[in-house]
Amino acid sequence: MTAVQGVVTAIVTPMMEDGAIDIDTFRELVNWQVACGVRGIVIAGTTGEVSTLGHEEHIALVEEAVRITKGRLSIIAGAGSNSTQEAIELTRHAKAVGADASLQVVPYYNKPTQDGLYQHFRMIAEEVDLDMVLYNVPLRVGTKLNPDTTARLSRVPGIVGVKDTEASMLSMYRLLRWHGFREGFVVYSGDDITSHGAVLMGAHGVVSVESNLTPTQTWRRHANVEGALGSEDECARDKMLSCMFKLANPMPIKHALHKAGQLRGGIRSPLTWLPCTLGAELCSAARGYASGVGDGI
């Protein structure tokens, strides 16, 4: 695949109250994202609660998304692991069911060196002929993928981009200005709050959580970032995002979608629903933003 640019939604995994996957609602959400014009969807990423999905559930979600979309947008399958062999196996499954690319998180818990990270991602790329997007999220995994390692990996065939979720404008600036990246290598912001600034500095798109709730407005704002800054709805968006990321993703976004009538009340332990006060604050802020932009909440 040619790495997709623009807005890619890191989609939630809908669940029943007992935690079983709600495949009918999943189909509805995927079709809604297609209709609203986003460029791609990440299946079974952090927002999709990948850490509590079984392998069969993981592959079934990717396969269903491929079947539904029929090539109308790119499907990027979360397939990372802190075990290189497990990541290879998940990536093979993703390729077998038709994903366009895999999203490979920096290995968590075991804290490899930069050379260990290079070897991990290179081995996956060499074993499975499926485009790969690297996923740098040090706050969650405990290890940072440094810009020089990222540039080195960009020259490995099949590694087409990186999602950077450090939420630091300085970090994004350094990444975008680093020398040695292969031409055509794509850099995504993985942080909605700083994504506009990242795009203005040269990022190619955003892997977004907020676009689960406001997909149309999210891609429109990113298509015209300079016009969006300082607009009347900017303050309302900022208020919504500050609520959306007070607690760990995907708890807030699933709460908002549930209250909007788009999800049942399922989330898997150890994640929980929001405290009443924060939940009410988030829903109020989301309604305030959506009422001005035309997305249905």
Binding-site residue ranges for pyruvate: 47, 207
Q: Note if the bond before 250 is cis, omega within 30 degrees.
A: yes
Q: Do 100 and 75 contact (CB within 8 A), yes or no?
A: yes
- Annotate 54-82 with b (16+ C-beta within 10 A) or e (fewer): eeebbbbbbbbbbebbeeebbbbbbbbbb
- Alpha helices in the chain, H assignment, sequence order: 23-36, 55-69, 84-96, 114-127, 138-141, 147-154, 169-177, 195-201, 215-223, 225-228, 234-244, 251-259, 276-293
Closest CA to 78 of 22, 13, 7: 13
Burial environment of residue 247 by CB neighbours within 10 A (0 to 12, 13 to 18, 19 or more): middle
Residue showing tokens 């007992």: 18
Indicate which residue of 163, 188, 254, 259 is catalytic. 163
254 is annotated as an active-site residue: no
**Residue 229 CB neighbours (<10 A):** 12
Identity of the residue numbered 228: A
Whole-number Å distance between alpha carbons of 291 and 106: 38
135 is annotated as an active-site residue: yes
Closest CA to 195 of 7, 10, 57, 60: 7
Indicate which residue of 135, 254, 259, 289 is catalytic. 135
φ and ψ at 133, to 5 degrees? -110, 125
Closest CA to 296 of 208, 230, 212, 226: 212
What SS3 state is found at 283?
helix
Whole-number Å distance between alpha carbons of 294 and 164: 29
Residues acting as catalytic residues: 135, 163
